[in-house]
Structure 1
Amino acid sequence: MSGPQCCENPPALNPSSGTGHVEEIGGLKSYVSGTSDCKFAVLFISDVYGFEAPNLRKLADKVASAGYYAVVPDFLHGDPYNPENTERPIQAWIKDHGTDKGCEEAKPVIESLKQKGISKIGAVGFCWGAKVVVQLAQTDEYIQAAALLHPSFVTVDDIKGVKVPITVLGAEVDHMSPPELMKQFEEALNAKPEVDKFIKIFPGVSHGWTVRYKPEDAAVVKAAEEAHQDMLGWFQKHIK
């Protein structure tokens, strides 16, 4: 598991960003936006930079304003990847933050949401987080819809095991999930007619663009917003 592209354009982390608040859910410190009396939740699983990324929280706020309880747990336990720490390259960081562990830690979060009265849960994963989401999607026990945005480390076999409606939104310039791999994902899902799916490759953008865009880059911002709407539309179709 390597690849510097998954780490490009690191965000300026800000623990006070967003209009929501931080509380503990299922044993994890979580950024929460929206009201807990909502019946529908979207679980956000971040990339390697974690839950304090302002663009990620801004997206959670956007999803909350559409009528969802948006929850962004700190699956990285206060230890996001730091590209400036040359003594700890991404390969070493990944060893400390396995996606299998992320998947197991998501389950009590999901259980906690159900105990709040939430009846349907969608999960969206970005880069590292996409692998966690696709693992949760191997059964309909935990989530009812999945969205993978510029996934990292996701394999065709992972996709073949998916049991819930899934959308995969990828970048044209992405060696973590290049268009050729996205096509293989699509073929694997097309062989599963019982699973609703939507695959889309965004031209002219690179890995991480949906949450690591620069506000001044109008073209990328536009593509990010289009991906956000596609994701939101997917959840509106399947968990509302």
Structure 2
Amino acid sequence: MIPTTQHESKFKVVFKCTFTTLDVVPYSSNGETFGNIADKVAQAGFYAVVPDFFYGDPYVVNSSRTIPEWLKTHGTDKGFEDAKTFISALKKEGIHAVGAGGFCWGGKVVVQLAKTDFTKATVLLHPSWVTLDDIKAVKVPISILAAELDNGTPPALLNQFEDALSKHKVPKTDFQSPINSAILQVKNFIKIFPKVKHGWTVRYNESDVTTVEAAKEAHKDMLLWLSKYLKKN
């Protein structure tokens, strides 16, 4: 139920939120698999975990079941509750710093986690259903790696996210060492990758050099962000 990729490190975790709704299949032969991405995370020195929040029932593209029907039993609110339970279990095992990476559906789950104290840093990759109100409530360092050609999270909305984050401040104790109660801006990084579509970091034509390179760059950016804010804890 919970496939994992492990590293010797027991002190830092990258919590990989699973995805699959619109056009992304977790273990597709075309592009990256979750296992491959988790391997990259583990090789960077983390204990990488890929929970199956869909309980073996991912959305299947072109099936008779519509996305709205599938979401009735696989909503992001349920994913958020499952994620909190899972992270709590990890912390009971001695894991003290958790980072979250969410793709598509998982982007919504991860941004919900970013409003809490469950994670120390988050990365959203071509997220779905994330709103401006979500972004305004974020408490931890957040990176958003987005596609230029994404109707769900278009560049215009990302510009609003960036503007909101530039003005958003939280108490230092919310995401750093509780030395004092200083008010600090939430650390953030938003990057729009040109000429790529929603889902490009995991689903792409391997002969498309532009998309392949953009996917590799996004994976590198994700690891740099998580390393920056997790490894100092």
TM bucket normalised to smaller: 0.7 to 0.9
- Counterpart of 1:58 in structure 2 is 36
Cα distance in 1 for partners of 2:95, 2:8 equals 8
* Aligned residue in 1 for 2:17: 45
Match of 2:161 among 185, 188, 203: 185
TM-score by length of 2: 0.86
Residues in 2 aligned to 1:119 and 1:50: alpha-carbon distance in whole angstroms: 31
Correspondent of 2:115 among 122, 138, 149: 138
- The residue number in structure 1 matching 2:210 is 219
1:50-77 deviations in whole A, cap 9, x for unaligned?
A: 6545522201101101100110100011
- For 1:35 and 1:228, locate their aligned partners in 2 and report how far apart those are by CA, in whole Å: 18
How far has the Cα of 1:39 moved from its partner? Answer: 0.6
Alpha-carbon distance between aligned partners in 1 of 2:127 and 2:79, rounded to the nearest angstrom: 15
Aligned partners of 1:212 and 1:52: how far apart in 2? 10
The counterpart of 2:81, out of the listed 104, 118, 124, is 104
Q: Which residue is 2:180 aligned to?
A: none
**Counterpart residue type for residue 99 of structure 2:** G
Letter of the 2:12 partner, please give it: F
Aligned equivalents of 1:90, 1:55: Cα separation in 2: 22
Residue ranges of structure 1 left out of the alignment (5+ in a row) = 1-28
Q: Is the 8 A contact 2:9 2:46 kept in 1?
A: no
SS in 1 for 2:42: helix
> Are 1:34 and 2:11 matched, yes or no?
no
Distance 1:35 1:200 in 2: 28
Identity percentage over the alignment?
52
CA deviation after TM superposition for structure 1 residue 108, in Å? 1.8
**In the TM superposition, what are the counterparts of 1:69-148 in structure 2 within 5 Å?**
69-86=47-64, 88-139=65-116, 141-148=117-124
Aligned residues: 210
Q: Give the TM-score, by structure 1 length.
A: 0.84
Which is worse superposed, 38-47 or 120-129? 38-47
Deviations, residues 153-192 of structure 1 (Å, cap 9, x unaligned): 0000000000000000100100010000111111111111
* 1:187–1:153 CA distance, 2 compared to 1 (3 A): same
**Structure 2 runs not aligned, ≥5 long:** 170-184
Residue by residue, what CA displacement relative to the aligned partner does 1:114-170 show, whole Å, maximum 9, x if unpaired?
12222211001001100000011112x200001000010000000000000000010
> Which residue type is aligned with residue 238 of structure 1?
Y
